[in-house]
Structure 1
Amino acid sequence: MFRPFALFVGLRYTGARARNSFISVITLISALGLMLGVAVLITVLSVMNGFDRELQTRILGMVTHLSIHGREPVEDWQALADQVRGYPGVEAAAPFVQLEGMLTHKGNVAGALINGVDPEAEQRVSIVGEMMWEGDFNALHPGDFGVVLGYGLARKLNAEVGDKITLVLPEASVSPAGVMPRFKRFQVVGVFRARAEVDGLYAYVSSEDAAVLHRRPGTVQGIHLRLSDLFAAPEVGWQLQQALGRDYYTTDWTRTHGNLFQAIRMEKSMMTLLLSFIVAVAAFNIISSQVMLVTEKRGNIAVLRTLGASPGTIMRIFMVQGAVIGLAGTFLGTVLGVLLANNVSDLAAWIEKTFNTRLFDAYFVNYLPSQLEWSDVGAIVAIAMVITFAATLYPSWRASRVQPAEALRYE
């Protein structure tokens, strides 16, 4: 059977036990370091991809891509929607009325952003209908003064479906008893849970009920738009504002969540760069272990040279030995990294449950997301193999420079 000489001897050197056990320890540490570096890189990039996905699906799914605001109350939102619906990139439109206030229930108080919406139209521009935890989003009937609360908001208020809560608006009304804040009773008809920061902030009511509270019955403040490409929101918004004139102005998601999105992208790049140093350190260990191995094998190298092996053959022998270490570390690291990436969410949840703590409440999602991208895995494996291969060049070159006469003089 044909066996390339350099490959055969390189594999024998890899499997053989070194006379100096310290060299074997360094070689093992090199492989373990490479394994851990690759595994950590895959896991961390998967977590960053998970945060990126959650931002796009949950946060930006609840927060509209683009909004058109009227400088005056909009009486016929359907006409405005028809005007922009055929614009390239616009998929759907829905009316909105926004109010700010405090919700109270059984002595519990929480600030909230009240979104007055048309339930059917809102579900074409938002994923809120898919995130319902209890109740029905379509139960927001005009005149019934029903409200759908975020899960976090409902927990703060200790409110459930069917409970009556009170909305306190930051406006004063004059009554025989004096100046009083405005109150309105609502019935909870549903609870949504997006597992994001909006759970503790958003509440939805009928747009007609919100317009009555806004003292502009029969009108809306503008329309929300869903775009086919959310990253085109600033450009589409600018073009629509130019087309609609001074009576309207636009806002998009980049003004409220753009910094968060850019921060995640930047953190992913920086984490990749920083964690790559773990692989680089493992590569330096490979260099040191191979340099010591070359020193130990000087006699063997001299014998091979005497038997006719060329300097190139000697160099390839030690390149094979170093490449095998890199391949083993990279393979094991890839397997470990893929396993961790696919189970890190469950692992974080188990840690929270075991130690009765909340690790991620301070972030825009309250759990640890993870999304394995095979393109990232391929890039990490390629980078690790290139670094490992580069690390074998210098020790292999030194081995090829061993002179048989000088090496055998002291044998």
Structure 2
Amino acid sequence: MFRPLSIFIGTRYTRAKRRNHFISFISMTSMIGLGLGVLAMIVVLSVMNGFQREMSTRILGMVPHAVIQGVKPLDDWKPAADAALQNPEVLAAVPFTEMDGMLSYKGSMQPIQISGIDPAREGQVSIVADHIVQGRLNDLKPGEFGVVLGEITARRFRVNVGDRLTLIVPELSSAPGGITPRMQRLNVVGIFKVGAELDGSLGLIHVADAAQMQRWQPGQVQGVRLKLKDLYDAPQVASQIVAGLGSAYKADDWTHTQGSLFSAMKMEKTMIGLLLLMIIAVAAFNIIATLIMVVNDKGADIAILRTLGATPRQIMGIFVVQGSVIGVFGTLVGGILGVVAALNVSTLVGWVERLSGQHIFTSDVYFISNLPSELQWPDVALICAAGLVLSFLATIYPAWRASQIQPAHALRYE
């Protein structure tokens, strides 16, 4: 089968055994380095995708995707919920009331955000019911002032179901200071653990108890919280709903409360990706050294090809093909091993933990107890494309240098 001269000789040079074994060693290390760089980048970005997925599931499964709240307490929350549910992006709408305060127990205190919920409807918008480790969410009864605490808060206060603690909330008054503390005894009826910082900053009470603590009328709520099909559309969806309801309502969404966290995670992924790209670049540019030594080693062969009629472009193509074969093979092997490793990294870490008897991720220290991984094929395609492009760019200078060799000069001492 006919093949162009550059491809035929370039692939033959790649397969041929060289007289200079050091050149073969450098060529092999370039290929291995490129493969390891691609492998490392795929695995690390997959692990970061896994962390982002876990944090999104845990945190955004607890906090509202979006909220529609009244400028004043709502006497009837159902019209706002019905208006929200008319939007096809909204999956559920339930009432809520939020307040900030301090928890006190046996002289210890900590700030906390209290969320008044309807236990019967909360499962439509939150994952908290699936993460109760003590008690039950349905034990929140109106008028009993029960509270469901996060596991970190419960551990800090050393409380369990049945213990009682004090909630202190600020109240505007005509006193000289303008604010007076109001205290309410709460009974711990449940403890949840979602594996995020919300375990130490969030408490749940019944929405009717929240209204009573705010000195509102029975049945009044702050607003409705929404669950959306695509949480990244929350700002637009909330704005559309409020525009239809009028000026008596306002909107908020998760990007205001948790957006900085996910922006930081996205930036971290980008920066780590760029740093790992440097590993691929170093391995790719090792091809330059390999090809320069090959050019010096094959100077006589190049001169003979030139005397037989090979053009500078054909000579240049020979070494571009040779360097590209190294890059393609290294990228291909690294990509395959990277995909396999990314798909099995959680199993591999578990095997290492069992073998060593040590836990790399303990639930007492970290929010997760395993190493998550989520392979995204666009990331794999981008990494492999970067490896191929860098490998190709690394061949240009040595190949150009080979094309400039003059036959008479190369054969002078032959």
Normalising by the residue count of structure 2, what TM-score does the alignment of the two structures yield? 0.84
What percentage of aligned pairs have identical amino acids?
A: 48
* Other-structure match for 1:395: 398
Check the 8 A contact 1:51/1:264 in 2, yes or no: no
SS at match of 2:61: helix
Give 1:188's aligned residue. Answer: 189
Q: Which residue of 2 aligns with 1:376?
A: 379
CA distance in 2 between counterparts of 1:139 and 1:317 reads 77
Structure 1 residues 369 and 200: alpha-carbon distance in aligned structure 2, compared to 1, 3 A threshold: farther
Deviations 1:257-282 (A, max 9, x none): 22222333333333333432322222
Identify the residue that residue 33 of structure 2 maps to in structure 1: 33
The secondary structure found in structure 2 opposite 1:264 is helix
Greater Cα shift, 273-282 or 371-380: 273-282
Q: Using the alignment, how far apart are the partners of 2:135 and 2:9 within structure 1?
A: 71
Query: Any residues of structure 2 matched to 1:46-195 within 5 Å, and which?
Result: 46-104=46-104, 109-160=109-160, 162-171=161-170, 182-189=183-190, 191-195=191-195
1:277 counterpart SS class? helix
1:61 aligned counterpart, secondary structure: coil
1:101 to partner: Cα distance: 3.2
Which segment is superposed worse, 197-206 or 390-399? 390-399
Aligned to 1:219: 220
Structure 2: tracts of 5 or more residues without a match: 172-179
Question: After superposition, where does 1:282-293 map in structure 2 within 5 Å?
Answer: 282-293=283-294
In the alignment, what sits opposite 2:177?
none
Contact 1:323–1:392 under 8 Å retained in 2: yes
Question: Cα distance 1:151–1:348, how it changes in 2: closer, same or farther (>3 A)?
Answer: farther
Query: 280-289 or 23-32, which moves further after superposition?
Result: 23-32
Structure-2 separation of matches of 1:313 and 1:359? 61
Tell me the CA shift for residue 146 of structure 1: 3.3
1:354 aligns with 2:358: yes
Report the alpha carbon displacement of residue 334 of structure 1 after superposing the two structures with TM.
1.8
Measure how far apart 1:100 and its partner are.
2.8
The Cα of 1:117 is off from its aligned counterpart by: 0.5
1:405 maps to which residue? 408
Amino acid at match of 1:164: D
**Aligned equivalent of 1:263:** 264
Distance in 2 (alpha carbons) for counterparts of 1:366 and 1:112: 25
| Alignment partner, residue 23 of structure 1 | 23
Q: What SS does the aligned partner of 1:124 have?
A: coil
Structure 1: segments with no counterpart, 5+ residues: 173-178
Q: Is the 8 A contact 2:146 2:187 kept in 1?
A: yes
Change (3 A) 1:367 1:8: same
- Which TM-score applies when normalising by structure 1? 0.84
Offset of residue 340 of structure 1: 4.2
Aligned partner of residue 72 in structure 1, secondary structure: strand
Per-residue deviation at 1:134? 4.2
Report the CA distance shift for 1:404/1:359 in structure 2 as closer, same or farther (over 3 A).
Answer: farther
Shift of 1:104: 4.9
The structural deviation recorded for 1:41 is 2.0
2:11–2:322 Cα contact (<8 Å) kept? yes
Distance 1:87-1:11 versus aligned 2 partners, 3 A rule: closer
SS at match of 1:101: strand
